[in-house]
A and B are shown apart, each in its own frame.
Chain A
Amino acid sequence: MTELLRFGVLGGLLGLDGTAVGQFMMSRPLVAGWLSGWAAGAPGLGITIGAILELFLLVSFPTGGARFPEGSTAAVVAVGVAVPFDGSGAVAASVAMGLVWGEVGGWSVTMQRRVNSRLVPTGVASRTGSLGRAHLLAIVTDFLRGAVVSMVGVALGRAGLGVVDARWPVDPSVSTGVLYVGAAVSLGILLHDLGGFRRRRILFVLGLAFGIVGARFL
Protein backbone atom coordinates (compact mmCIF):
# COMPACT_ATOMS: atom_id res chain seq x y z
CA MET A 1 0.00 0.00 0.00
CA THR A 2 2.87 2.39 0.85
CA GLU A 3 4.47 1.63 -2.50
CA LEU A 4 1.16 2.25 -4.27
CA LEU A 5 0.86 5.58 -2.47
CA ARG A 6 4.41 6.47 -3.50
CA PHE A 7 3.53 5.90 -7.16
CA GLY A 8 0.32 7.85 -6.61
CA VAL A 9 2.17 10.89 -5.22
CA LEU A 10 4.69 10.69 -8.04
CA GLY A 11 1.91 10.38 -10.63
CA GLY A 12 0.11 13.36 -9.09
CA LEU A 13 3.20 15.59 -9.03
CA LEU A 14 4.40 14.65 -12.51
CA GLY A 15 0.87 14.99 -13.89
CA LEU A 16 0.80 18.56 -12.54
CA ASP A 17 4.06 19.30 -14.34
CA GLY A 18 2.59 18.13 -17.61
CA THR A 19 -0.52 20.25 -17.57
CA ALA A 20 -0.77 22.79 -14.77
CA VAL A 21 2.43 23.72 -12.96
CA GLY A 22 5.66 24.81 -14.57
CA GLN A 23 5.75 22.42 -17.50
CA PHE A 24 9.43 21.73 -16.90
CA MET A 25 8.80 18.47 -18.80
CA MET A 26 9.70 16.32 -15.81
CA SER A 27 6.49 14.66 -16.98
CA ARG A 28 8.07 13.34 -20.18
CA PRO A 29 8.20 9.51 -20.08
CA LEU A 30 12.02 9.47 -20.14
CA VAL A 31 12.25 11.54 -16.95
CA ALA A 32 9.09 10.21 -15.27
CA GLY A 33 10.20 6.63 -15.98
CA TRP A 34 13.64 7.12 -14.44
CA LEU A 35 12.20 8.98 -11.43
CA SER A 36 9.62 6.22 -10.85
CA GLY A 37 12.29 3.55 -11.11
CA TRP A 38 14.58 5.49 -8.78
CA ALA A 39 11.75 5.88 -6.24
CA ALA A 40 11.19 2.12 -6.34
CA GLY A 41 14.88 1.26 -6.19
CA ALA A 42 15.10 0.22 -9.85
CA PRO A 43 16.36 3.22 -11.86
CA GLY A 44 17.71 0.97 -14.64
CA LEU A 45 14.28 -0.56 -15.23
CA GLY A 46 12.76 2.92 -15.01
CA ILE A 47 14.95 4.43 -17.72
CA THR A 48 14.47 1.38 -19.97
CA ILE A 49 10.68 1.68 -19.80
CA GLY A 50 10.84 5.48 -19.94
CA ALA A 51 12.99 5.41 -23.09
CA ILE A 52 10.63 3.01 -24.88
CA LEU A 53 7.59 5.10 -23.93
CA GLU A 54 9.42 8.28 -24.96
CA LEU A 55 9.92 6.73 -28.42
CA PHE A 56 6.17 6.13 -28.62
CA LEU A 57 5.21 9.56 -27.28
CA LEU A 58 7.82 11.65 -29.16
CA VAL A 59 5.01 13.11 -31.23
CA SER A 60 2.59 13.67 -28.34
CA PHE A 61 2.68 17.15 -26.80
CA PRO A 62 0.44 19.02 -24.35
CA THR A 63 -0.89 21.44 -26.98
CA GLY A 64 -3.69 23.71 -25.71
CA GLY A 65 -7.03 21.95 -25.46
CA ALA A 66 -6.05 18.91 -27.52
CA ARG A 67 -6.59 15.45 -26.08
CA PHE A 68 -3.23 13.69 -25.75
CA PRO A 69 -1.97 10.56 -23.98
CA GLU A 70 -0.54 11.59 -20.61
CA GLY A 71 3.14 10.60 -20.71
CA SER A 72 3.74 10.92 -16.97
CA THR A 73 0.86 8.58 -16.10
CA ALA A 74 1.98 6.14 -18.78
CA ALA A 75 5.53 6.04 -17.39
CA VAL A 76 4.65 5.95 -13.67
CA VAL A 77 2.10 3.18 -14.21
CA ALA A 78 4.36 1.15 -16.51
CA VAL A 79 7.30 1.27 -14.09
CA GLY A 80 5.02 0.71 -11.07
CA VAL A 81 3.57 -2.38 -12.74
CA ALA A 82 6.94 -3.80 -13.82
CA VAL A 83 8.91 -3.38 -10.57
CA PRO A 84 7.82 -6.56 -8.69
CA PHE A 85 8.09 -8.85 -11.72
CA ASP A 86 11.10 -10.35 -13.45
CA GLY A 87 9.49 -12.57 -16.10
CA SER A 88 10.36 -12.34 -19.78
CA GLY A 89 7.25 -10.33 -20.59
CA ALA A 90 7.33 -7.89 -17.67
CA VAL A 91 8.72 -4.90 -19.59
CA ALA A 92 6.57 -5.42 -22.68
CA ALA A 93 3.35 -5.98 -20.74
CA SER A 94 3.98 -3.01 -18.47
CA VAL A 95 4.75 -0.71 -21.43
CA ALA A 96 1.48 -1.88 -23.03
CA MET A 97 -0.32 -1.11 -19.76
CA GLY A 98 1.39 2.30 -19.72
CA LEU A 99 0.19 3.06 -23.25
CA VAL A 100 -3.39 2.18 -22.32
CA TRP A 101 -3.25 4.08 -19.04
CA GLY A 102 -1.68 7.09 -20.71
CA GLU A 103 -4.92 7.35 -22.72
CA VAL A 104 -6.93 7.04 -19.50
CA GLY A 105 -4.76 9.82 -18.04
CA GLY A 106 -5.42 11.96 -21.13
CA TRP A 107 -9.15 11.43 -20.73
CA SER A 108 -8.93 12.37 -17.04
CA VAL A 109 -7.13 15.63 -18.00
CA THR A 110 -10.09 16.47 -20.26
CA MET A 111 -12.48 15.78 -17.36
CA GLN A 112 -10.33 17.89 -15.01
CA ARG A 113 -10.50 20.79 -17.44
CA ARG A 114 -14.29 20.51 -17.53
CA VAL A 115 -14.31 20.64 -13.73
CA ASN A 116 -12.01 23.69 -13.88
CA SER A 117 -14.64 25.47 -15.98
CA ARG A 118 -16.89 25.38 -12.92
CA LEU A 119 -14.14 26.22 -10.44
CA VAL A 120 -12.91 29.46 -12.01
CA PRO A 121 -14.89 32.50 -10.86
CA THR A 122 -16.73 34.71 -13.33
CA GLY A 123 -17.81 38.36 -13.36
CA VAL A 124 -17.72 40.23 -10.08
CA ALA A 125 -16.84 37.00 -8.24
CA SER A 126 -13.40 37.09 -9.84
CA ARG A 127 -11.77 39.10 -7.08
CA THR A 128 -8.25 38.61 -5.78
CA GLY A 129 -9.02 36.04 -3.09
CA SER A 130 -11.50 33.93 -5.00
CA LEU A 131 -9.25 33.85 -8.08
CA GLY A 132 -6.30 32.60 -6.03
CA ARG A 133 -8.45 30.06 -4.17
CA ALA A 134 -9.97 28.74 -7.41
CA HIS A 135 -6.52 28.42 -8.92
CA LEU A 136 -5.19 26.55 -5.90
CA LEU A 137 -8.25 24.29 -5.80
CA ALA A 138 -7.85 23.44 -9.49
CA ILE A 139 -4.19 22.53 -8.90
CA VAL A 140 -4.99 20.40 -5.85
CA THR A 141 -7.76 18.51 -7.66
CA ASP A 142 -5.44 18.02 -10.64
CA PHE A 143 -2.83 16.52 -8.30
CA LEU A 144 -5.45 14.20 -6.82
CA ARG A 145 -6.59 13.23 -10.31
CA GLY A 146 -3.07 12.27 -11.34
CA ALA A 147 -2.48 10.41 -8.06
CA VAL A 148 -5.70 8.38 -8.20
CA VAL A 149 -5.34 7.53 -11.91
CA SER A 150 -1.74 6.38 -11.33
CA MET A 151 -2.56 4.29 -8.24
CA VAL A 152 -5.52 2.57 -9.94
CA GLY A 153 -3.36 1.91 -13.02
CA VAL A 154 -0.52 0.37 -11.00
CA ALA A 155 -2.93 -1.78 -8.94
CA LEU A 156 -4.82 -3.06 -12.00
CA GLY A 157 -1.64 -3.59 -14.01
CA ARG A 158 0.02 -5.59 -11.25
CA ALA A 159 -3.06 -7.79 -10.89
CA GLY A 160 -3.04 -8.43 -14.64
CA LEU A 161 0.70 -9.00 -14.95
CA GLY A 162 0.57 -11.35 -11.94
CA VAL A 163 -1.59 -13.66 -14.05
CA VAL A 164 0.54 -13.66 -17.22
CA ASP A 165 4.11 -13.06 -16.02
CA ALA A 166 4.99 -16.66 -15.13
CA ARG A 167 3.32 -18.00 -18.31
CA TRP A 168 4.82 -15.56 -20.81
CA PRO A 169 5.27 -17.78 -23.89
CA VAL A 170 7.93 -15.93 -25.90
CA ASP A 171 11.52 -14.81 -25.52
CA PRO A 172 12.04 -11.25 -24.11
CA SER A 173 13.63 -10.23 -27.42
CA VAL A 174 10.38 -10.99 -29.28
CA SER A 175 8.39 -8.83 -26.84
CA THR A 176 10.95 -6.04 -27.21
CA GLY A 177 10.79 -6.38 -30.99
CA VAL A 178 7.04 -5.81 -30.92
CA LEU A 179 7.58 -2.62 -28.89
CA TYR A 180 10.27 -1.27 -31.23
CA VAL A 181 8.15 -1.94 -34.30
CA GLY A 182 5.25 -0.01 -32.70
CA ALA A 183 7.56 2.83 -31.68
CA ALA A 184 9.04 3.06 -35.19
CA VAL A 185 5.70 4.50 -36.35
CA SER A 186 6.26 7.53 -34.07
CA LEU A 187 9.73 8.09 -35.51
CA GLY A 188 8.21 8.05 -39.01
CA ILE A 189 5.54 10.53 -37.90
CA LEU A 190 8.23 12.88 -36.58
CA LEU A 191 10.04 12.85 -39.92
CA HIS A 192 6.67 13.43 -41.63
CA ASP A 193 6.18 16.52 -39.38
CA LEU A 194 9.64 17.79 -40.32
CA GLY A 195 8.92 17.81 -44.04
CA GLY A 196 9.06 14.15 -45.05
CA PHE A 197 11.83 11.91 -46.34
CA ARG A 198 12.19 13.44 -49.81
CA ARG A 199 12.80 16.93 -48.46
CA ARG A 200 15.02 15.82 -45.57
CA ARG A 201 16.70 12.71 -46.99
CA ILE A 202 20.31 13.98 -46.97
CA LEU A 203 20.33 15.08 -43.33
CA PHE A 204 18.32 12.04 -42.24
CA VAL A 205 20.56 9.52 -44.01
CA LEU A 206 23.69 11.26 -42.68
CA GLY A 207 22.29 10.96 -39.15
CA LEU A 208 21.24 7.36 -39.74
CA ALA A 209 24.76 6.40 -40.86
CA PHE A 210 26.29 8.12 -37.84
CA GLY A 211 23.78 6.43 -35.53
CA ILE A 212 24.51 2.96 -36.92
CA VAL A 213 28.27 3.40 -36.65
CA GLY A 214 28.17 5.35 -33.39
CA ALA A 215 25.98 2.91 -31.48
CA ARG A 216 28.29 0.04 -32.45
CA PHE A 217 31.66 1.60 -31.88
CA LEU A 218 31.30 4.51 -29.45
Chain B
Amino acid sequence: MSHDTRPRGGFGMLMRSLLIQGAWNYRTMLGSGFAFALLPALKRLYGNDPNALARAIERHSEHFNAHPYLAPIALGAIARLESDQVDVETIRRFRTAVRGPLGGLGDTLVWATWLPLVAVCSLVLYWFGVPGWGVVLAFVLVYNVGHLGLRVWGLWLGLDAGRDVGARLTAVDLGSWARRLQGPLVIGLGVLCGAVLSAPGGLSSIGPAWSALAAVAFVLGLVGGHRAWRPAAMATVGAIAFIGLWGILS
Protein backbone atom coordinates (compact mmCIF):
# COMPACT_ATOMS: atom_id res chain seq x y z
CA MET B 1 0.00 0.00 0.00
CA SER B 2 1.49 3.31 -0.98
CA HIS B 3 1.61 5.95 1.71
CA ASP B 4 -0.49 8.47 -0.22
CA THR B 5 -3.48 6.07 -0.46
CA ARG B 6 -3.36 4.85 3.16
CA PRO B 7 -5.30 7.60 4.97
CA ARG B 8 -8.56 7.36 2.97
CA GLY B 9 -9.00 3.63 3.30
CA GLY B 10 -7.68 3.83 6.82
CA PHE B 11 -10.25 6.39 7.99
CA GLY B 12 -13.10 4.33 6.54
CA MET B 13 -11.80 1.21 8.25
CA LEU B 14 -11.37 3.09 11.52
CA MET B 15 -14.98 4.32 11.44
CA ARG B 16 -16.28 0.89 10.46
CA SER B 17 -14.18 -0.76 13.15
CA LEU B 18 -16.52 0.93 15.64
CA LEU B 19 -19.24 -1.38 14.26
CA ILE B 20 -17.05 -4.47 14.07
CA GLN B 21 -19.12 -6.25 16.74
CA GLY B 22 -22.44 -5.22 15.12
CA ALA B 23 -23.25 -8.74 13.98
CA TRP B 24 -21.20 -10.72 16.53
CA ASN B 25 -22.42 -14.30 16.40
CA TYR B 26 -21.49 -17.79 17.58
CA ARG B 27 -20.74 -19.05 14.05
CA THR B 28 -18.19 -16.59 12.68
CA MET B 29 -17.83 -14.41 15.83
CA LEU B 30 -16.24 -11.17 14.55
CA GLY B 31 -15.88 -12.61 11.01
CA SER B 32 -18.59 -10.69 9.16
CA GLY B 33 -17.80 -7.53 11.14
CA PHE B 34 -14.18 -7.89 10.12
CA ALA B 35 -15.13 -8.08 6.43
CA PHE B 36 -17.51 -5.13 6.92
CA ALA B 37 -14.73 -3.02 8.44
CA LEU B 38 -12.22 -4.06 5.79
CA LEU B 39 -14.54 -3.11 2.90
CA PRO B 40 -13.09 0.39 2.26
CA ALA B 41 -9.66 -1.14 1.65
CA LEU B 42 -11.05 -4.06 -0.35
CA LYS B 43 -13.11 -1.72 -2.55
CA ARG B 44 -10.02 0.33 -3.31
CA LEU B 45 -8.12 -2.82 -4.27
CA TYR B 46 -10.83 -4.81 -6.09
CA GLY B 47 -13.36 -2.10 -6.96
CA ASN B 48 -13.04 -2.75 -10.69
CA ASP B 49 -13.54 -6.49 -10.39
CA PRO B 50 -16.83 -7.43 -8.66
CA ASN B 51 -15.99 -11.15 -8.61
CA ALA B 52 -12.59 -10.58 -6.99
CA LEU B 53 -14.24 -8.23 -4.48
CA ALA B 54 -16.91 -10.84 -3.64
CA ARG B 55 -14.26 -13.53 -3.19
CA ALA B 56 -12.24 -11.23 -0.89
CA ILE B 57 -15.34 -10.43 1.20
CA GLU B 58 -16.13 -14.13 1.44
CA ARG B 59 -12.58 -14.90 2.61
CA HIS B 60 -12.63 -12.20 5.26
CA SER B 61 -16.12 -13.11 6.51
CA GLU B 62 -14.75 -16.40 7.79
CA HIS B 63 -14.45 -17.10 11.51
CA PHE B 64 -12.37 -14.48 13.33
CA ASN B 65 -12.20 -13.15 16.84
CA ALA B 66 -10.17 -10.49 18.64
CA HIS B 67 -10.66 -7.79 21.19
CA PRO B 68 -12.71 -5.07 19.42
CA TYR B 69 -10.22 -2.32 20.32
CA LEU B 70 -7.25 -4.32 19.00
CA ALA B 71 -9.02 -5.69 15.91
CA PRO B 72 -7.85 -2.59 13.93
CA ILE B 73 -4.29 -3.97 14.21
CA ALA B 74 -5.40 -7.05 12.25
CA LEU B 75 -7.53 -4.91 9.91
CA GLY B 76 -4.57 -2.68 9.03
CA ALA B 77 -2.13 -5.57 8.65
CA ILE B 78 -4.48 -7.56 6.42
CA ALA B 79 -5.30 -4.50 4.30
CA ARG B 80 -1.57 -4.11 3.85
CA LEU B 81 -1.11 -7.80 2.95
CA GLU B 82 -3.99 -7.61 0.45
CA SER B 83 -2.49 -4.52 -1.09
CA ASP B 84 0.93 -6.20 -1.30
CA GLN B 85 -0.85 -9.03 -3.18
CA VAL B 86 0.28 -11.67 -0.72
CA ASP B 87 -1.27 -15.06 -1.56
CA VAL B 88 -4.63 -15.99 -0.09
CA GLU B 89 -3.39 -18.91 1.99
CA THR B 90 -0.71 -16.80 3.70
CA ILE B 91 -3.29 -14.14 4.57
CA ARG B 92 -5.59 -16.83 5.94
CA ARG B 93 -2.80 -18.26 8.12
CA PHE B 94 -1.89 -14.76 9.29
CA ARG B 95 -5.52 -14.11 10.28
CA THR B 96 -5.63 -17.34 12.26
CA ALA B 97 -2.30 -16.59 13.93
CA VAL B 98 -3.18 -13.09 15.18
CA ARG B 99 -6.71 -13.68 16.49
CA GLY B 100 -5.68 -15.44 19.73
CA PRO B 101 -3.04 -12.93 20.88
CA LEU B 102 -5.20 -9.93 19.97
CA GLY B 103 -8.07 -11.38 22.00
CA GLY B 104 -6.04 -12.29 25.08
CA LEU B 105 -3.98 -9.12 25.05
CA GLY B 106 -7.08 -6.91 24.70
CA ASP B 107 -8.91 -8.69 27.50
CA THR B 108 -5.93 -8.26 29.83
CA LEU B 109 -5.13 -4.67 28.90
CA VAL B 110 -8.62 -3.22 28.44
CA TRP B 111 -11.27 -5.29 30.21
CA ALA B 112 -9.15 -6.44 33.16
CA THR B 113 -7.09 -3.27 33.69
CA TRP B 114 -7.98 -0.04 31.85
CA LEU B 115 -11.75 -0.23 32.31
CA PRO B 116 -11.64 -1.15 36.03
CA LEU B 117 -8.95 1.49 36.63
CA VAL B 118 -11.04 4.30 35.12
CA ALA B 119 -14.25 2.98 36.70
CA VAL B 120 -12.64 2.72 40.16
CA CYS B 121 -11.18 6.25 39.89
CA SER B 122 -14.59 7.60 38.81
CA LEU B 123 -16.29 5.86 41.73
CA VAL B 124 -13.70 7.41 44.05
CA LEU B 125 -14.63 10.84 42.63
CA TYR B 126 -18.30 10.06 43.33
CA TRP B 127 -17.58 9.01 46.92
CA PHE B 128 -15.43 12.11 47.43
CA GLY B 129 -18.47 14.22 46.58
CA VAL B 130 -17.80 15.29 42.97
CA PRO B 131 -21.14 16.09 41.22
CA GLY B 132 -22.62 13.30 39.11
CA TRP B 133 -22.09 15.05 35.77
CA GLY B 134 -18.42 15.59 36.65
CA VAL B 135 -17.96 11.92 37.54
CA VAL B 136 -19.59 10.76 34.30
CA LEU B 137 -17.69 13.28 32.18
CA ALA B 138 -14.38 12.24 33.73
CA PHE B 139 -15.13 8.56 33.15
CA VAL B 140 -16.23 8.95 29.53
CA LEU B 141 -13.40 11.32 28.55
CA VAL B 142 -10.52 9.50 30.23
CA TYR B 143 -11.70 6.03 29.23
CA ASN B 144 -12.19 6.95 25.60
CA VAL B 145 -8.85 8.72 25.26
CA GLY B 146 -7.34 5.29 25.90
CA HIS B 147 -9.97 3.45 23.87
CA LEU B 148 -9.82 5.58 20.73
CA GLY B 149 -6.07 6.03 21.04
CA LEU B 150 -5.67 2.26 21.00
CA ARG B 151 -7.88 1.88 17.93
CA VAL B 152 -6.10 4.62 15.95
CA TRP B 153 -2.62 3.43 16.96
CA GLY B 154 -3.52 -0.20 16.20
CA LEU B 155 -4.78 0.54 12.71
CA TRP B 156 -1.74 2.69 11.94
CA LEU B 157 0.56 -0.04 13.28
CA GLY B 158 -1.14 -2.71 11.16
CA LEU B 159 -1.08 -0.62 7.98
CA ASP B 160 2.54 0.26 8.55
CA ALA B 161 3.89 -3.13 9.64
CA GLY B 162 1.82 -5.58 7.58
CA ARG B 163 3.06 -9.10 8.20
CA ASP B 164 5.68 -7.78 10.67
CA VAL B 165 2.97 -6.63 13.03
CA GLY B 166 3.73 -9.49 15.44
CA ALA B 167 7.33 -8.37 15.89
CA ARG B 168 6.25 -4.74 16.31
CA LEU B 169 3.66 -5.75 18.92
CA THR B 170 6.29 -7.76 20.79
CA ALA B 171 8.55 -4.71 20.81
CA VAL B 172 5.78 -2.47 22.17
CA ASP B 173 4.88 -5.12 24.80
CA LEU B 174 1.30 -4.11 25.55
CA GLY B 175 1.24 -6.76 28.27
CA SER B 176 3.76 -4.72 30.26
CA TRP B 177 1.40 -1.73 30.05
CA ALA B 178 -1.28 -3.83 31.70
CA ARG B 179 1.14 -4.84 34.45
CA ARG B 180 2.19 -1.21 34.99
CA LEU B 181 -1.43 -0.11 35.36
CA GLN B 182 -2.23 -2.79 37.92
CA GLY B 183 -0.35 -0.98 40.72
CA PRO B 184 -2.40 2.23 40.38
CA LEU B 185 -5.53 0.08 40.10
CA VAL B 186 -4.77 -1.65 43.43
CA ILE B 187 -4.22 1.75 45.09
CA GLY B 188 -7.46 3.04 43.54
CA LEU B 189 -9.32 -0.03 44.78
CA GLY B 190 -7.97 0.59 48.28
CA VAL B 191 -9.04 4.26 48.13
CA LEU B 192 -12.49 3.21 46.93
CA CYS B 193 -12.88 0.68 49.78
CA GLY B 194 -11.82 3.35 52.28
CA ALA B 195 -14.20 5.89 50.78
CA VAL B 196 -17.18 3.50 50.80
CA LEU B 197 -16.33 2.75 54.41
CA SER B 198 -15.95 6.28 55.75
CA ALA B 199 -17.67 8.76 53.41
CA PRO B 200 -20.85 10.49 54.62
CA GLY B 201 -23.64 8.01 53.91
CA GLY B 202 -21.10 5.19 53.69
CA LEU B 203 -20.89 2.02 55.74
CA SER B 204 -19.49 3.57 58.93
CA SER B 205 -22.43 5.98 59.14
CA ILE B 206 -24.83 3.02 59.09
CA GLY B 207 -23.11 1.20 61.92
CA PRO B 208 -20.03 -0.90 62.73
CA ALA B 209 -21.94 -4.18 62.25
CA TRP B 210 -22.47 -3.33 58.57
CA SER B 211 -18.78 -2.50 58.15
CA ALA B 212 -17.88 -5.88 59.67
CA LEU B 213 -20.35 -7.69 57.39
CA ALA B 214 -18.93 -5.86 54.37
CA ALA B 215 -15.40 -6.89 55.41
CA VAL B 216 -16.53 -10.53 55.55
CA ALA B 217 -18.15 -10.17 52.13
CA PHE B 218 -14.94 -8.60 50.77
CA VAL B 219 -12.92 -11.58 52.03
CA LEU B 220 -15.44 -13.97 50.44
CA GLY B 221 -14.85 -12.27 47.08
CA LEU B 222 -11.10 -12.24 47.65
CA VAL B 223 -11.02 -15.96 48.35
CA GLY B 224 -13.74 -17.16 45.97
CA GLY B 225 -12.93 -14.99 42.97
CA HIS B 226 -15.48 -14.82 40.16
CA ARG B 227 -17.32 -17.92 41.45
CA ALA B 228 -18.56 -15.75 44.32
CA TRP B 229 -20.14 -13.03 42.15
CA ARG B 230 -23.45 -14.57 41.13
CA PRO B 231 -24.26 -16.12 44.53
CA ALA B 232 -23.47 -12.77 46.19
CA ALA B 233 -25.66 -10.80 43.77
CA MET B 234 -28.49 -13.29 44.15
CA ALA B 235 -28.12 -13.27 47.96
CA THR B 236 -28.42 -9.46 47.86
CA VAL B 237 -31.54 -9.67 45.69
CA GLY B 238 -32.91 -12.37 48.02
CA ALA B 239 -32.30 -10.23 51.11
CA ILE B 240 -34.01 -7.19 49.53
CA ALA B 241 -36.93 -9.38 48.37
CA PHE B 242 -37.22 -10.82 51.89
CA ILE B 243 -37.42 -7.31 53.39
CA GLY B 244 -40.11 -6.37 50.87
CA LEU B 245 -42.10 -9.53 51.57
CA TRP B 246 -41.79 -8.93 55.29
CA GLY B 247 -43.28 -5.48 54.78
CA ILE B 248 -46.25 -6.87 52.84
CA LEU B 249 -46.99 -9.63 55.35
CA SER B 250 -46.54 -7.57 58.53
Contact = CB atoms under 8 A, between A and B. Distances in A.
Contact of A184 (B26, B28, B182, B214): B214
A159 interface: no
A185 B232 contact: yes
B104 to A, nearest CB: 10
B218 interface: yes
A60 B50 CA distance: 43
A185 B221 contact: yes
B111 interface: yes
Q: How many interface residues does chain A have, given as a range?
A: 35 or more
A210 B43 CA distance: 56
Interface stretch (B16-24, B78-86, B155-163, B166-174): B16-24
Contacts of A20: 19, 21-24
A47 B221 contact: no
A107 B31 CA distance: 22
A132 interface: yes
Interface string A194-218: 1111001001111111111111101
Contact of B214 (A117, A181, A208): A181
Contacts of A37: 132
Contacts of B57: 126-128, 131
B132 A43 contact: yes
Nearest to B19: A21
Nearest to B122: A30
Given A99-B237, A116-B23, A164-B244, A211 B111 contact: no
For chain A, what secondary structure do more than half of its interface residues adopt (helix, strand, loop), or is it mixed? Answer: helix
A56 B123 CA distance: 12
Nearest to A96: B240
Interface stretch (A7-15, A146-154, A165-173): A165-173
A137 to B, nearest CB: 8
Interface string B194-236: 1111111111011100100111011111111110110011011
Given A30-B136, A56-B233, A181-B217, A218 B128 contact: yes
B55 to A, nearest CB: 9
B244 A58 contact: no
B236 A96 contact: yes
Contacts of B144: 24-25
Given A26-B140, A60-B229, A65-B24, 11 more contacts: A28-B115, A28-B119, A34-B136, A56-B236, A173-B207, A178-B236, A182-B236, A185-B220, A200-B186, A212-B195, A216-B198
11 contacts: A21-B19, A58-B116, A64-B103, A126-B32, A126-B57, A168-B247, A192-B221, A194-B186, A195-B186, A203-B187, A206-B190
Interface of A: 19-26, 28, 30-31, 34-35, 37, 43-44, 46-47, 51, 54-56, 58-65, 69, 89, 92-93, 95-96, 99-100, 113-114, 116-117, 119-124, 126-128, 131-132, 134-136, 138-139, 142, 163-164, 167-170, 173-197, 200, 203-216, 218
A-B pairs with the 9 shortest C-beta distances?
A211-B194, A207-B190, A188-B221, A182-B236, A47-B132, A116-B25, A185-B232, A215-B199, A138-B23
